[in-house]
Amino acid sequence: DTEVTQTPKHLVMGMTNKKSLKCEQHMGHRAMYWYKQKAKKPPELMFVYSYEKLSINESVPSRFSPECPNSSLLNLHLHALQPEDSALYLCASSQDGTGGDEKLFFGSGTQLSVL
């Protein structure tokens, strides 16, 4: 199983809503990532978890709150988002986040629209 599964695939929410994006992998990977991608732009790193601990937070606004309940799951909790937060949110995983030739496996993303 080399899949990273993200749910939901599409999400429309208002600026006062609270929602969560979910990501799951069963490859035994110990590093998981959230990236944000706007149309025709490259993925931008948001958060990195390594061994269930947050290791990188790329100055992301607090309205985005990541959570890693265990080594297979990664959530992104959303609250009071702005329309400019509309984007494709990609989850990825890799072996353990310590470099070398480990590659990132991406999920198919959640397309988020904030109204």
Partner 1 sequence: GQNIDQPTEMTATEGAIVQINCTYQTSGFNGLFWYQQHAGEAPTFLSYNVLDGLEEKGRFSSFLSRSKGYSYLLLKELQMKDSASYLCAVRDRNSGYALNFGKGTSLLVTP
Interface residue list for partner 1 (CB under 8 A): 4, 33, 40-45, 48, 50, 55-56, 88, 90, 97-101, 103-109, 111
3-state secondary structure the chain: CCCEEEECCEEEECCCCEEEEEEEECCCCCEEEEEEECCCCCCEEEEEEECCEEEEECCCCCCEEEEEEECCEEEEEEECCCHHHCEEEEEEEECCCCCCCCCCEECCCEEEEEC
Q: Least CB distance from residue 46 to partner 1, whole Å? A: 10
Q: Least CB distance from residue 4 to partner 1, whole Å? A: 8
Nearer to partner 1, 13 or 45 (CB): 45
Q: Least CB distance from residue 106 to partner 1, whole Å? A: 4
Nearer to partner 1, 14 or 28 (CB): 28
